[in-house]
Amino acid sequence: MIQKVPYDSRNGIHLMIGNVYQYNRKFGKTLSLIQSRNPDLVFLVETDQAWADAMTPIHEGYPYRILCPLENTYGLVLYSRLPILRKEINYLIDEEVPSLEFDLELRGGQVITIYAIHPTPPVPGENSTSTERDAEILIVGKKSKANPLPSIVIGDLNDVAWSYTTSLFLKTSELADPRRGRGFFNTFHAKIPLFRWPLDHVFLSKQFGLAAIHVLPGIGSDHFPIELKATLTANDTTDTESATNEEEQEAEEKITNGHENQKADQD
């Protein structure tokens, strides 16, 4: 379980993540929520060009941006008050599905890495298995574990917090889920109260303590946004899981299968 700590704006970060639902045109709800919550970083998925254009009113307050709007429901836009020192737009499995990797400088001078993703879900008749989604999630976990900087993984993973893949991801990445021991924090389906699941995630490396986590009010999407405040701690006080040799091998096999499936789809 991640340690609860006070929020420290110099050594911490306030994040807001939301799947806006591409065909949702209630742009003002998202703008109003960003302005009222005032996070350091905003990550929005399913953003087409209309969404990117609609978010221009916040550009002045968020001078560091990574914009990758797309019309295929896999567009990404990211806005930051904190300096982005390095940024990559990657296509880890599918050439039509981007993900972000970037280094961010906190106010106190510490540098952290954030991985922002939205992998494809299983879709009957189109992408009937979770092979490619699982591979992308596990690739990001592998990259995070190899990174010497404190790291955070954020996004709509199209997977629930208790799934086998998420469990394998947490073990192979040695990241921690801030919800554990605190509740489900369900974000989907915003319009069906009796059927809700935690599909939008923030995972933290062991250098972070948790200051706050909340599911936010609806923005007209089928997902609720979620926000989190985390602070770097002096000691690595979070207990993280580690993968066995068999689990490491299984993760590598899933990654290989994801690449092979995508190659077969292209052929």
pLDDT in tens, 88-99: 999 999 999 999
HSE value, Cβ hemisphere, 13 Å, CA-based, for 142: 16
Measured between alpha carbons, how far is 123 from 119 in angstroms, rounded to an integer?
A: 12
Given this model, what pLDDT does residue 240 score?
84
Given this model, what pLDDT does residue 124 score?
40
Given this model, what pLDDT does residue 53 score?
98
CATH number of the CATH domain containing 65: 3.60.10.10
Q: Is residue 3 part of a domain?
A: no
Measured between alpha carbons, how far is 122 from 131 in angstroms, rounded to an integer?
A: 8
Residue whose entry in the numeric block shows the structure tokens 């599911």 = 215
Number of domains in the chain: 1
Q: Is residue 1 part of a domain?
A: no
**What residue ranges in the chain does DSSP mark as E strands?**
12-19, 41-45, 64-68, 76-80, 84-90, 99-105, 111-117, 151-156, 200-204, 208-215, 226-232
Given this model, what pLDDT does residue 128 score?
40
Task: Say if residues 21 and 46 touch (Cβ distance below 8 Å).
Answer: yes
Q: Is residue 2 part of a domain?
A: no
Q: Is residue 37 part of a domain?
A: yes
Q: Which stretches in the chain have pLDDT values below 50? A: 123-128
Q: Is residue 126 part of a domain?
A: yes
Given this model, what pLDDT does residue 181 score?
84
Domain, as residue range, for 184: 12-266
Measured between alpha carbons, how far is 82 from 57 in angstroms, rounded to an integer?
A: 18
